[in-house]
């Protein structure tokens, strides 16, 4: 007797929504907070001023990330719902034309016309709106917009990221605080890039390098601006 061996595959596309928001939030938390602290420190601010600035930046950034992500993703969700409502109306008014449209999609993908119409028949009988949403509009359960999830993930990850350079500021000697914030923030960014690449199935070194490079650039520019303004003052 022959047994069928089930091939189990592990895909990462279901992580796209929360992974993108989490990585964006953590990266922005580290980069913006570290850059803010370095810029203020370069302007010869006191250690207490740095701590207050860092805390204010953490809270403001977390709220901004949550609100921005919610509004952005909600706009995407509104667009998806509008497209689904239109598709639902078209299915109700002219199902035959919608059947032909769905079959043509499969034909263009390489399916024979006869089989394409059979597939369209069966899928529309099972879930007409879901079939058109997936194959015509590109809307799926995996990639659908989730505003609240994205907002919470962004805010939480921003706080986690921002807390790292702020913690360094607490413990670093005042005379070398800029050095330690910059150094440790680059380490944090490299680790974040590597973890995100690993979770997404991408190349770890490239992910780490990409995040670290742009973080270093942001901190360098902010330090330069802070020093210039500090010199003017």
Domain with 136, as residue range(s), is 17-227
Residue 12 lies in a domain: no
Residue 7 lies in a domain: no
Q: Per the structure block, which two tokens stand in for 102?
A: 């769905």
Distances 22 to 12, 66, 99, 122 between C-alpha atoms, Å: 15, 11, 40, 39
Residue 36 lies in a domain: yes
Residue 233 lies in a domain: no
pLDDT averaged over 10-residue windows placed end to end, the chain, 233 residues: 47 53 82 89 84 91 87 80 80 82 84 83 79 73 68 87 92 88 90 79 80 85 76 41
For the whole model, what pTM was predicted? 0.66
Residue 9 lies in a domain: no
d(CA 7, CA 25): 36
Tell me, what's the pLDDT at 123?
76
Q: Per the structure block, which two tokens stand in for 191?
A: 């680790």
Cβ-Cβ contacts under 8 Å for 173 (sequence gap 6 or more): 180
Domain count, the chain: 1
Residue reference for tokens 């990850």: 157
Residue 3 lies in a domain: no
Residue 10 lies in a domain: no
Task: Classify the C-alpha dihedral 108-113-119-121 as positive or negative.
Answer: positive
> Could you tell me if 120 and 96 are in contact, meaning their C-beta atoms sit under 8 angstroms apart?
no
Residue 11 lies in a domain: no
* Segments in 43-176 forming alpha helices (H): 47-93, 95-108, 113-135, 147-171
Question: How many residues in the chain?
Answer: 233
> Could you tell me if 88 and 63 are in contact, meaning their C-beta atoms sit under 8 angstroms apart?
no
Q: Per the structure block, which two tokens stand in for 216?
A: 């270093």
Tell me, what's the pLDDT at 141?
63
Task: Classify the C-alpha dihedral 158-160-164-169 as positive or negative.
Answer: positive
């Amino acid at each position: 007797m022959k047994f069928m061996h089930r091939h189990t595959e592990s895909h990462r596309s279901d992580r796209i929504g929360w992974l993108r928001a989490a990585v964006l939030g953590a990266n922005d938390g580290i980069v913006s907070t570290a850059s803010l602290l370095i810029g203020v420190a370069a302007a010869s601010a006191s250690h207490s001023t740095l701590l207050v600035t860092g805390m204010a930046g953490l809270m403001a950034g977390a709220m901004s990330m949550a609100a921005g992500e919610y509004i952005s993703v909600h706009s995407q969700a509104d667009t998806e719902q509008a497209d689904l409502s239109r598709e639902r109306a078209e299915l109700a008014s002219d199902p035959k034309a919608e059947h032909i449209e769905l079959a043509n999609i499969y034909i263009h993908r390489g399916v024979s016309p006869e089989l394409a119409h059979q597939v369209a028949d069966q899928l529309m009988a099972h879930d007409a709106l879901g079939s058109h949403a997936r194959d015509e509009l590109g809307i799926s359960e995996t990639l659908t917009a989730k505003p609240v999830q994205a907002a919470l993930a962004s805010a939480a990850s921003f706080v986690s990221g921002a807390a790292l350079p702020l913690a360094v500021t607490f413990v670093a000697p005042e005379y070398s605080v800029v050095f330690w914030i910059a150094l440790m923030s680059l380490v944090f960014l490299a680790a974040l890039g590597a973890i995100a690449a690993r979770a997404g199935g991408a190349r770890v070194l490239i992910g780490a390098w990409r995040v670290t490079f742009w973080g270093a650039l942001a901190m360098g520019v902010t330090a330069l601006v802070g020093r210039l303004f500090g010199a003017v003052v």
